[in-house]
Amino acid sequence: MPDLFDLMRRWRKQIFLLIITTLIVTTAIVFLIPKRYLSVATALPASSYATDKTSVFSQNLQILYSTVGLPDDLDKMVGTAHLDTVYRFVIAQLGLTDHFGIRKTDGSAIPKAASILRKHTRVIKSDYGELRVKVWDVDRDLAAALANAIMEKIQQIHQDVQTVNNSIMLSKLNEEYANKKNEFEKLARSSSLTEPEMFSIHKSSLLQQVQEYEKLINQYKLMVDAKPQALIIVERATPAFAPDQPKPLQIIVAAAILSFFFGLLTALILDRKKSVTA
């Protein structure tokens, strides 16, 4: 094995020249790259029981469950963040096709801009059970606006899904309620003072069912009108004071170390070839 210290001594000029050249080029590139600012919006999952009619109107269940959801509830949110729908909506809402260098006349301007925004965004579930939306952009104010808009869109999608489910159930309940009510009214019109006992029991059962449907309809109406939140915003994104990318010092130090080892490896190869030739 060759003596590395002797090798570095003999090739020190070449290695030093390589390191200096690498540092100059790296520094120039780092400071020419546009600075990107990071903004982060943070939210907690709302309790899934807050969107469930049974738990909302049951005092016993209200005591058992917290108003804040479980970290597992965020898995659906993270999955939603992978959809292009979220980013296309934000691009269209804020009119950002020009910001990402895409002409509005381009028929696919919004999808292209959405693809760029998606690359500059990270939606993660933190170790503390929070949903975090991270956005990098050259404009610090816009980075914060984008993070907040993406968080709000994710919240809206899941809120709308639950509202649609409740609306469908409410529609079905109204249909069944109308059927049961008509059946009861027909039975009431055909009843007499000397009606059989089974007839009376059936009419009483129908009346009870109609009353139960009325109660359920009122409860589902409240759930549809209330539109329970899917996320609880803990901290809205704010403009960053300093850029997050690139990190000049870290990049320059890494480039210097890599160039040193590359120079040492090159010197070793050239030295061996020189020895073989000699």
Question: How do the domains of the chain map onto residue ranges?
Answer: 1-33+251-278, 34-245
Lowest-confidence pick of 18-27, 99-108, 114-123, 132-141: 99-108
Under DSSP, is residue 11 helix (H, G, I), strand (E, B) or coil? coil
In this prediction the pTM is 0.70
Please state, in angstroms and rounded to a whole number, the distance separating the CA atoms of residues 249 and 253: 6
Q: What are phi and psi of 68, to 5 degrees?
A: -105, 135
pLDDT of residue 266: 86
In this predicted structure, the answer to whether residue 193 has a pLDDT above a threshold of 50 is: no
Q: Regarding predicted confidence, which is higher, 183 or 120? A: 120
Laid out side by side, the sheet with 121-125 consists of 121-125, 131-137, 37-45, 231-235
Average pLDDT (162-190) is 80
Please state, in angstroms and rounded to a whole number, the distance separating the CA atoms of residues 10 and 222: 83
pLDDT of residue 59: 46
Cβ partners under 8 Å of residue 93, min gap 6? 149
Share of the chain above pLDDT 90, in %: 26
Q: String of b and e for 190-213 (b: at least 16 CB within 10 Å)?
A: eeeeeeeeeeeeebeebeebbeeb
Q: Which H or E element spans position 268?
A: helix 248-277
The architecture in CATH of the region 34-245 reads: 2-Layer Sandwich (3.30)
In this predicted structure, the answer to whether residue 64 has a pLDDT above a threshold of 60 is: no
Q: Regarding predicted confidence, which is higher, 52 or 218? A: 218
